[in-house]
Structure 1
Amino acid sequence: MKNRDQKAFSYLYDNYSKALFGIVFGIIKNYEETEDLIQNTFIKIWNNFENYDCDKARLYTWMINIARNVAIDHLRSKKNKNQNQNISNNGKEINRIFTEDLSSETIGLKEVVDKLKNEDLQLIDLAYYRGFTQLEISEKLAIPLGTVKTKMRKALLVLRDQLKEKTEEK
């Protein structure tokens, strides 16, 4: 990818587009808009690949963050244009659409996330699948912002440890 190899890019797209589609669709809730945003996501990946640092994050994690940020930026721009966006839990629909041919990495991530405590799962769901900011989570759950930040950090550390264990098992 750093050498601008089209085959490498095609490989990334073929192997990760469905998983990233699921992430973006979980935030946007609109199939057509999600298709456009996936295109934007892969353009950003292509244009910014020189910024990827394998010491900071796995490639898949880096790409998830780009996809998530593209979706959240899109929501915020729509919100600023006074268009209401219904952000509701549509996980069953996402699972139905993407049960075929999910990468083993995505399936493993779902298994790990499902092992979280309910309160941690709720925070991760709001932040990463629905696109809420920590301030919005604080307001929605009526808990202090500092508490949200602390619980999010702990939940992410638990996820990191569980992913590390799962990777070591393979």
Structure 2
Amino acid sequence: MATSKLKYSEEELVLALKRNERTAFEFLYDHYSGALFNIISKTLRDEERAADVLQESFLKIWKNIASYNPEKGRLFTWIMNIARNGAIDAARVEGRKPAMDDIDNKAVQNERDVYEDSLTSSSEMKAIVNMLRPERKILIDMAYFQGYTHEEISEELSIPLGTVKSRIRTALQELKQYFAV
């Protein structure tokens, strides 16, 4: 793993990635692979398979970077969704649902997003998510950290699908205020 001394703003990084600059991909890997690995590992519960899915995720990022649109969201969100979806697909290929833990015993282990000045550590991320009402917190955990679909959450928790969707939407709106640049 290369240790890049370069620093990029998010806009500079995206432009360099779209120009297929090797140093930009090294920077991306160095700064985001840990967070993506944690997301994948929590879903798969198998470190070897998680490492494979991480590699597949970075290949998808590399091949599809031209389709990234900064107007639709941050780079970290885009790559996180690629990794999360890869983990969900891998879990389904194995014929099982993604793993589910007790929300109160689970810490959010994502590495700091270098472009999120408002967050300085994963403990702050956990603290922000923990500020949500319990019925919203568990839905955010299941949907974004464990890889459940809205339908699976509805079934697992015996909550109507519409309620799941509206609670997640409300929770995301509530969280959005903490992530505003």
Q: Output the CA distance in 1 between the equivalents of 2:173 and 2:45.
A: 28
Q: Output the CA distance in 2 between the equivalents of 1:127 and 1:20.
A: 15
1:109/1:163 contact within 8 Å kept: no
Q: Output the CA distance in 2 between the equivalents of 1:57 and 1:111.
A: 23
Could you list the per-position Cα deviations for residues 31-87 of structure 1 after superposition, in whole angstroms to 9, with x for gaps in the alignment? 1110111001101110000011111101111111111111111111111xxxx4671
Within the candidate set 117, 121, 131, 1:115 is matched to: 131
Secondary structure of 1:103 counterpart: coil
Report the equivalent of 2:63: 47
- Map 1:21-170 → 2, pairs under 5 A: 21-79=37-95, 84=96, 87-89=99-101, 102-103=111-112, 105=116, 107=122, 108-164=124-180, 167=181
More helix by share: 1
Q: Output the CA distance in 1 between the equivalents of 2:107 and 2:171.
A: 23
Write the letter of the residue equivalent to 1:27: T
Figure out how many residues of one structure are paired with residues of the other and give that number: 157
Write the letter of the residue equivalent to 1:62: W
Change (3 A) 1:7 1:60: same
Normalised TM-score (structure 2)? 0.78
Secondary structure of 2:99 counterpart: coil
Segments of 5+ residues of structure 2 without an aligned counterpart are: 1-16
Structure 1 outlier segments of 4+, above 6 Å: 90-95
Report the equivalent of 2:10: none
How big is the alpha-carbon RMSD for the aligned residues of Structure 1 and Structure 2?
2.2
Q: Output the CA distance in 1 between the equivalents of 2:99 and 2:106.
A: 14
Cα deviation for residue 132 of structure 1 reads: 1.1
Segments of 5+ residues of structure 1 without an aligned counterpart are: none
Choose 105-114 or 23-32, whichever is displaced more: 105-114
Which one scores higher on RCO, CA 8 angstroms, separation ≥ 6? Answer: 1
Write the letter of the residue equivalent to 2:37: F
Q: Output the CA distance in 1 between the equivalents of 2:166 and 2:27.
A: 37
Secondary structure of 2:100 counterpart: coil
Q: Output the CA distance in 1 between the equivalents of 2:64 and 2:38.
A: 22
Q: Output the CA distance in 2 between the equivalents of 1:153 and 1:85.
A: 23
Normalised TM-score (structure 1)? 0.83
1:29/1:90 contact within 8 Å kept: no
Secondary structure of 1:60 counterpart: helix
Q: Output the CA distance in 2 between the equivalents of 1:90 and 1:148.
A: 18
Write the letter of the residue equivalent to 1:41: S
